[in-house]
Structure 1
Amino acid sequence: MVTAGAGTPTGTGGSTPAGTAPVPAEFLAGFPETLAEVSRSCRALTRAERESRRALGEQAADAGIGLRELTTVHLAAARRAWGSLPGVAGARDTAELRSVGAAVLGAIEAGVGALAEGHARAQRHAVRRAEAARRAFVDDLLYGRSDPGRIAEQAEGFGLRLAERHVVAVAAHPPGEPYDDAHPLLRRIERELAGRFGDHDALIAPKDGRLVCVAPTGQRQVFDAFVKLACAPDGTRVAVSRPHSGAVGVVRSYEEALSALDLAERLALDGRVLNAADLLVFPVLMRDRAAMTDLVQSVLGPLATARGGAEPLLATISAYAAAGYVNAEAARRLDLSVRALSYRLERIAALTGFDPDDPLQRYTLETAAMGARLLGWPPP
């Protein structure tokens, strides 16, 4: 059995070119003998022989041996064995030598191809296992399903040190276009951040159709870059949490970001980037749901009797507040004339008894309008 030339260290598959790692002889098992047999019979590799190479390719990948090193040592073994192959040494003429050479080269091609196929198959399996482990970790991290100590230990493998303070951003695409592991935006963000910042401690992963970024507060530039890139597609909205510490803090930050997205949807808020710190008033307003329901019904209930229902007048209250109580700007937002806006404001005052132009009364109207959005009033 030809496994190594003279001077080859024991336990390696042959002298390897500079810059490549030595390959153990076990990964060459049977290859020189197969070439010798092929040179005698000029046959193709059998299915069993190809499968043997595939299996060795998988084992090499699992052992951390690169495909370059693996193929190099096989080609080197074939080159060393060439002159001593029975069919080559015993060839009677050029035609027979060509026939033997074609068979041997075909066997080398098929054998190396099977090695590469097995190596690639093992790598695909490893990638799938790594992705499954990553998804399980992201689930445990964001939902707090595991022991904090265990989560912190796992987090270090993904570049996170949970003893630090972290912020969480969640990017949500319009319905029907969820983010997943294969989404081009995720790949683009990963490439951009790696190119601009090299190794960084931010964790970026898809979760429930959204993109999530968990980053330490000390790497704010990485976090800001994620937010900017995630906002690039039309319709994408990003919610940013407040910073919190530890594994429990990451869960809290994630929930804050999700809550901000939900509030923005229910309140029809403008803006592509939502800061949870700017929306803290809304959970406070909803803490006493019964009181908020009473406020909405008492203040805005009469609007339901208006022609066209309460919705147009409720939209007018919200737009008037968002415009800073400037008639022209509010009319533009509602696509109305200033005269039509003034008529609506008069109807609101007449029906509710609260004047939108009175500072105290308009605050009551605005608060009630926010509560109505949160409560889903008026019902469809």
Structure 2
Amino acid sequence: MTDSARRPGPAGRRGDETWLTEVAREAAADAGGAPVELLGDYLRLLTDAAVTGRRPRRGELDAVEVLGRRAAEQGVSAGRAVRLYLSAARLLWRQLPHLDRSADSETVRAAADAVLHVVDTAVATLAEGYAAARRDLVRREEALRRELVDDLLRGDSDLGGLVERAEPFGLDLARVHQVALAAPGRRLPDTEAAISTLERVVFDRLGDRDVLVATKEGLLVVIAPADEATPGGARGGGPSGELGTLMHGELDRLVRGRPWQVAVGRPHPGLYGIARSYEEAREALTTARRLHSGTSVIDAHDLLIYRVLLRDQPAMVDLVRAVLSPLGQARGGAEPLLDTLAEYFACGEVATEAARRLHVSVRTVTYRLGRIRALSGYDPADARDRFTLHAAVLGARALDWPRRPLPA
């Protein structure tokens, strides 16, 4: 390249083209192969500032902001985009021969001040455009993710469309999945912190593919793979319990939202398995609330008996009314006797352990069991009566009786 080709003339003249093009190529290579097009007229702004001291106009800065948006849309990292602009300024400054020959330090200082002002303003504007585009991309992705989650939980019939939409999020709908719902103790003013917390810990444990975290109707939703689980979800400390415990442990660290309650549906295969697991988790959360359960992590598998009992609600109401309503004649009402029965059955019908759990004496427990036998006609010690009483107690808890009157 000749000196005449390298030497810049007054900014904007066609004679500058070769020189500026070479600087742009070198800067792009120095920035890890960033697209040269992202420089736009930036080099001309620098040259103009060095020669005339002119500062960029509003319209020229708007063009730089557009280039920042374009960098984000093209997937160029913010670091590479900024490095491109800084490298271009450094290379251009080194190839300003009229400054090399100048003996006037004030001239050099003025040119440097003008160029640095352009660099400072342009890089800041580029970063603003980049950040704005990233926010827009995040909002669009969040909207697409929320729509995808809604359709997955609803069991949308357009299987082909769902598979195509799920692919960018790394979700393989052929795998076995389970759904967990996290309910805050009080409404969150901002769910972003909770989503970020869940994403960080779940992605770290399960990987960033095949996991979706979103919100729905005030609940945090996690769709996670469960290939190692048996479809239908065997009871025990398997993947369901692990996911729920993992989520609750992280969410409970947040100051806002406590106490959290997490319900986990059983693992099921395929697209419709996600919707089924979600319905189980939602039903488990609703049932736990009706039972006034303070359990932090609820496994849908543990509440299957309530689904059976409440499937025929009229029959359950008849059972509770026939077996337990006579207990209302006791001093203090039916509730103390129900609590005694519940703990008695829960601990394997050991009166001593039931008394410890109820914080009463063993004599009180035996007295109450006698009153239940006398009022209801069912003996908790008899095998046949015990089954009827236990089913009635579970039904009463599900119906929230006697706190609420039985349905007509």
What TM-score range do you get, normalising by the shorter chain? Answer: 0.7 to 0.9
Which amino acid counterpart does residue 340 of structure 2 have in structure 1?
T
Determine which of 28, 33, 44 is the counterpart of 1:21: 33
| The one of 274, 277, 291 aligned to 2:298 | 274
Match of 2:244 in 1: 227
Counterpart check, 1:144 vs 2:155: yes
- The Cα of 1:128 is off from its aligned counterpart by 1.2
Change (3 A) 1:207 1:183: farther
Q: Number of aligned residue pairs: give it.
A: 375
Aligned-residue Cα RMSD (Å) equals 3.1
Question: Pick from 176, 200, 205: which aligns with 2:186?
Answer: 176
Aligned CA distance change for structure 1 residues 222 and 100 (closer, same or farther; 3 Å): farther
Counterpart in 1 of 2:213? 204
Distance 2:277 2:189 in 1: 20
Q: Which amino acid aligns with 2:263?
A: A
Contact 1:3 1:14 in 2 (8 A): no
Q: Distance in 1 between matches of 2:159 and 2:59?
A: 50
Deviations 1:302-339 (A, max 9, x none): 22233322222222221221121111211122221222
- Structure 1: any 5+ residue segments left out of the alignment? none
- In 1, the alpha carbon distance for the partners of 2:239 and 2:389 equals 41
Please state how far the C-alpha of 1:102 moved relative to its aligned partner: 1.1
1: CA distance, partners of 2:374 / 2:18: 99
Check whether the contact 1:170–1:238 (CA below 8 A) recurs between aligned residues.
yes
In structure 1, the residue corresponding to 2:348 is in which secondary structure?
Answer: coil
Q: Residues 232-290 of structure 1: CA distance to partner in whole angstroms, max 9, x if unpaired?
A: 23854433333323222211111012212222332345754433333322222222221
2:170 aligned residue: 159
CA contact (8 A) 2:240 2:266 kept: no
Q: 1:140 to 1:33 in 2, by over 3 A?
A: same
Please tell me whether residue 108 in structure 1 is matched to residue 119 in structure 2.
yes
Report the residue type matching 1:168 in the other structure: V
Q: Deviations over 1:195-254 (max 9, x none)?
A: 455454233334333333323332558766533311323854433333323222211111
Q: Decide whether the 8 Å contact of 1:3 with 1:28 is kept in 2.
A: no
1:167-316 to 2 correspondences below 5 Å: 167-173=178-184, 175-176=185-186, 178=188, 181-184=191-194, 186-219=195-228, 225-232=242-249, 233=252, 235-268=259-292, 272-316=296-340
Offset of 1:94 from its aligned partner? Answer: 1.0
| Deviation at residue 345 of structure 1 after TM alignment | 2.0
8 Å CA contact 1:202, 1:222 repeated in 2 = no
Q: Which residue of 2 aligns with 1:59?
A: 70
Give the 3 Å change call, closer, same or farther, for CA 225–275 of structure 1 in structure 2: closer
Give the unaligned 5+ runs of structure 2. Answer: 1-11, 230-237, 253-257
- CA drift of 1:141 comes to 0.7
1:49 equivalent in alignment to 2:73:
no
Residue 79 of structure 2 is matched in structure 1 by 68
